[in-house]
């Protein structure tokens, strides 16, 4: 969501409209507001993507946004602190009526002295509204992604070397951070510094292509001297924030260090605890008895054709249901199931939901129907359901076998058979 709000301004405005519409249409756990709102539709404009895409590329705004948001759940998006903290400015994006949409990241150079210029936000499309807080919030969300990706790559390499030394996860985590934020930055800085300082070259007139020997040690110490000064400035700024929030200087740093040092905070520990809990729970006094274990009707799972998998309902699978009935789409099947289950939602609001959000309505209804019989079950555990609408029954009936064809396609079985 940060990338789309900070990216193409036309896409950003449509995404903001889409979020705000849901915020105004629903309250709480998807509960509808009493006011009847018109059906939400994306703009049908044709836009040209920005210059960094190379040659001009024109796309349909509505088709692009329907594709981008098809698998998004706005209820989950609205729970994000970034959205909650910046909802006022996001709403302002939707109400902007200028000839040009708000461009958050256009910049201009402004002279600060005879010899220096400073880059500032170009507010010419902001119509007097101050969007700088939203722009800075987006930057803060995105700026660490590249470092995090590099840390992941380093972590893979570090664990391969360190896992055999019988130490915990805390130490390789800290070593990986050191490699990411110090060593890799130094390598680029040091080589640039060396190449711009001929007196350090071992062979006169021959620019070195890499850092080696004493030059590497000398420049690393010079780099660390400046780096540690920057660390001190950052620590001081963090301490001031701690004090401003009513805490003590160093609270944030102590929390970060504790998080890195504690083995309990590692994902392997969490996974291990979850596995132990899942195994021991089966031997407790309160052993759940599932419907399939009770005498009488057998609960036939999706793999055996008795239920329909929620995950198959995406627009990319429309062709499978159209082969049965050309008037049907996966989304129409989901709507038919919602209506057959008599799930309470107005027609206008139902139209406003993406296919992912419609699937969530079925999941919640199925969970409400079976959770009383399955102790300890969470809503997210519901992966399939027993179809009630005629359109859904196409998925598993013995003649059409739509679901089976989709699963076979995903597994590549059709391709194998075609080559036999």
pLDDT at 119: 74
pLDDT over threshold 80, residue 143: no
Is residue 277 assigned to a domain?
no
pLDDT at 292: 54
**Domain that includes residue 82, residue range:** 2-130
pTM of this structure: 0.51
Is residue 294 assigned to a domain?
no
Are residues 101 and 187 located together in one domain of the fold?
no
Q: Mean pLDDT over residues 137-158, rounded?
A: 69
Lowest average pLDDT, out of 166-180, 194-208, 350-364, 393-407, goes to: 166-180
Lowest average pLDDT, out of 1-5, 142-146, 199-203, 267-271, goes to: 267-271
pLDDT digits (tens, 9 = 90+) for 69-111: 888 888 888 888 888 888 988 898 888 877 788 888 888 777 6
Q: pLDDT-derived band of residue 229, with 50, 70 and 90 as boundaries?
A: very high
- Where does a domain end: 217, 245, 273? 245
Are residues 124 and 10 located together in one domain of the fold?
yes
Angle between helices 87-95 and 9-25 (to 10 degrees): 110
Query: What's phi and psi for 17, nearest 5 deg?
Result: -60, -40
pLDDT digits (tens, 9 = 90+) for 231-278: 999 999 999 999 998 989 989 988 888 877 776 656 666 667 777 777
Are residues 15 and 124 located together in one domain of the fold?
yes
Are residues 159 and 93 located together in one domain of the fold?
no
Are residues 37 and 92 located together in one domain of the fold?
yes
Point out which residues pair with 58 in neighbouring strands: 48
Are 308 and 389 spatial neighbours (Cβ–Cβ below 8 Å)? no
pLDDT over threshold 60, residue 30: no
Local structure of 110: helix, strand or coil:
strand
- Residue whose entry in the numeric block shows the structure tokens 């599932």: 290
- pLDDT: which is higher, 28 or 337: 337
Please give the mean pLDDT across all residues of the chain: 79
Are 96 and 17 spatial neighbours (Cβ–Cβ below 8 Å)? no
Please state the domain count of the chain.
3
Are residues 116 and 16 located together in one domain of the fold?
yes
Are residues 124 and 21 located together in one domain of the fold?
yes
pLDDT at 233: 93
Is residue 25 assigned to a domain?
yes
Query: What's phi and psi for 59, nearest 5 deg?
Result: -135, 155
Are residues 8 and 119 located together in one domain of the fold?
yes
Are 131 and 50 spatial neighbours (Cβ–Cβ below 8 Å)? no
Per-residue tokens: 132: 């700088």
- Where does a domain end: 67, 97, 130? 130
Are residues 18 and 85 located together in one domain of the fold?
yes
Are residues 414 and 328 located together in one domain of the fold?
yes
pLDDT over threshold 70, residue 331: yes
- Where does a domain end: 79, 98, 130? 130
pLDDT digits (tens, 9 = 90+) for 31-74: 555 455 567 888 888 988 866 556 778 889 999 998 888 888 88
- Kindly give, in sequence order, each residue whose CB lies less than 8 Å from that of residue 222, ignoring residues fewer than 6 positions away: 193
- pLDDT: which is higher, 303 or 142: 142
pLDDT at 416: 46
pLDDT over threshold 70, residue 116: no
Are residues 109 and 15 located together in one domain of the fold?
yes
- What string of H, E and C letters represents the secondary structure of 114-138? CCCEEEEECCCCCCCCCCHHHHHHH
């Amino acid at each position: 969501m940060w990338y789309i709000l900070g990216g193409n301004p036309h896409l950003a405005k449509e995404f903001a409209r889409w979020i705000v519409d849901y915020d105004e249409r629903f309250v709480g756990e998807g509960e509808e507001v009493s006011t009847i709102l018109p059906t939400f539709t994306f703009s049908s404009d044709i836009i040209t993507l920005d210059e960094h895409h190379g040659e001009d590329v024109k796309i349909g705004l509505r088709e692009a946004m329907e594709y981008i948001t098809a698998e998004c759940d706005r209820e989950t998006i609205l729970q994000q602190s970034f959205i909650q903290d910046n909802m006022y400015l996001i709403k302002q994006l939707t109400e902007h009526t200028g000839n040009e949409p708000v461009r958050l990241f256009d910049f201009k150079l402004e002279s600060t002295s005879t010899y220096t210029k400073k880059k500032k936000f170009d507010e010419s499309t902001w119509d007097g509204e101050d969007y700088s807080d939203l722009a800075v919030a987006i930057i803060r969300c995105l700026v660490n992604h590249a470092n995090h990706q590099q840390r992941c790559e380093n972590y893979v390499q570090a664990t391969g070397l360190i896992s055999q030394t019988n130490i915990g996860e805390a130490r390789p985590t800290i070593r990986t951070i050191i490699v990411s934020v110090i060593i890799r930055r130094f390598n680029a800085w040091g080589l640039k510094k060396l190449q711009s300082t001929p007196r350090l070259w071992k062979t006169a007139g021959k620019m070195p292509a890499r850092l080696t020997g004493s030059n590497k040690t000398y420049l690393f110490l010079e780099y660390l001297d400046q780096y540690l000064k920057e660390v001190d400035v950052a620590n001081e700024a963090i301490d001031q924030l701690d004090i401003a929030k009513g805490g003590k200087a160093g609270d944030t740093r102590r929390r970060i260090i504790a998080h890195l040092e504690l083995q309990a905070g590692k994902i392997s520990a969490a996974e291990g605890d979850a596995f132990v809990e899942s195994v021991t729970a089966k031997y407790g006094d309160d052993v759940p008895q599932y419907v399939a274990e009770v005498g009488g009707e057998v609960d036939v799972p999706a793999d055996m054709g008795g239920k329909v998998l929620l995950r198959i309902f995406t627009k990319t699978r429309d062709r499978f249901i159209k082969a049965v009935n050309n008037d049907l789409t996966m989304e129409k099947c989901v709507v038919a199931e919602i209506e057959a289950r008599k799930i309470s939602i107005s027609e206008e609001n139902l139209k406003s939901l993406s296919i992912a959000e419609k699937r969530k309505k079925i999941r919640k209804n199925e969970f409400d129907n079976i959770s009383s019989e399955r102790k300890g079950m969470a809503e997210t555990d519901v992966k399939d359901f027993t179809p009630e609408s005629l359109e859904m029954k196409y998925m598993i009936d013995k003649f059409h076998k739509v679901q089976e064809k989709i699963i076979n396609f995903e597994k590549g079985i059709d391709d194998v058979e075609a080559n036999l």
